[in-house]
A and B are shown apart, each in its own frame.
Chain A
């Protein structure tokens, strides 16, 4: 498998980003609707991605972005929430797992005061759950009736990796 790298986004990445952001299969488990044109995506990059404390493009060796990963601080300075999306063409190859391992190896040094990175995943999102587990996240619980996604009440699984957990090679 190619090495993955994480880098900051650029407005010029908007077209590459459309490959996952416009895909309804990719956004199915998230609260986002797929983007239908690049203009609102450009606004999202400008207003949310560029000023964000930790938002990275997932790149395969030498190529443009194939996905995005973000770690967003919450109202508690010790806790941040992970989000990840990958273009469907790159599913099933270990890219998400590799990206998550890379995030955990670097994010604590970058985000001051953060001691806990957590991820909320739909209980039926088996692929995402496997990637988190292989990257070393620990499942803490199933949170019942946690949120409404696309009109349906969902149970969500909460995973965490805290600053003192051991990185998985």
Chain B
């Protein structure tokens, strides 16, 4: 099972380069067209989550090919849509919870993706997200994450804990999680390796009994 580390969203106010959360695009299944998109407003940001479709590949290329977005993720920027389509088919399509982030009413093109990936324990899953650079610093990620915790516990059987790991230097992403109601549990020292560098990561969690933030 692919465990996707959440990389924080860069904020335009942050001087140092903050990692971008990267979610590998989820594939939308052919069967889910009838589902109502879930919408949430957060401080004027209208965000809706829906399943991906293979037709979303061009929208996905916007962030998947962006070296600034890829810089803090485990993968290299995509250079063509063929490998991205393969990724959608092989990883996103079978994924248990992968959603496209859409903003605004009429604009149906995804501007990012968010996923909740199960771990070895059914009660625990890991959050990841990615956003195209044009939508950084506007509260889109916060709105999307709020929508995730409002819905995912009802949708994934046995899920009790959603956790997220954020680079200790990524203040912007830490703020996204804190604003969405996650609790900061720990700094885990020398936790993982990202593109050859050993990182300290902050562990955040939102459990099923935590209160949603409006």
Partners in one complex: yes
Interface size on B, residues (CB 8 A): 23
Which 9 pairs of residues, A with B, have the shortest CB-CB distance?
A141-B186, A76-B192, A140-B186, A116-B190, A141-B185, A145-B161, A145-B160, A147-B121, A115-B190
Contact stretch, chosen from A16-24, A34-42, A158-166: A158-166
Interface size on A, residues (CB 8 A): 22
Contact stretch, chosen from B18-26, B173-181, B201-209: B201-209
Q: Across the A-B interface, how many residue pairs have beta carbons closer than 8 Å?
A: 68
Residue of A nearest to B208 (CB): A145
B124 touching A78, Cβ below 8 Å: no
Known: A146-B123, A160-B190, A163-B190. 16 other contacts (CB 8 A): A76-B193, A79-B192, A116-B189, A140-B189, A141-B188, A141-B203, A143-B163, A143-B186, A145-B160, A145-B161, A145-B205, A145-B207, A146-B124, A147-B124, A160-B189, A162-B190
A148 contacts chain B at the CB level, 8 A cutoff: yes
Q: Which B residues from 152 to 186 make CB contacts under 8 A with A?
A: 160-161, 163, 183, 185-186
Q: What's the least CB distance linking A135 to chain B, in Å?
A: 17
A143→B122 CA distance, assembly (Å): 15
A146→B185 CA distance, assembly (Å): 12
Residue of A nearest to B119 (CB): A147
Interface residues of B (CB under 8 A from A): 3, 121-124, 160-161, 163, 183, 185-193, 198, 203, 205, 207-208
Q: Which A residues from 59 to 99 make CB contacts under 8 A with B?
A: 75-79
B193 touching A160, Cβ below 8 Å: no
Instruction: Give the interface centre of B122, B123, B189, B193 by most chain A CB atoms within 10 Å.
Output: B189
Instruction: Give the interface centre of A79, A115, A144, A162 by most chain B CB atoms within 10 Å.
Output: A144
B161 touching A78, Cβ below 8 Å: no
Known: A78-B193, A142-B185, A160-B189. A147 touches B123 (CB 8 A): yes
Known: A142-B185, A148-B122. A79 touches B203 (CB 8 A): no
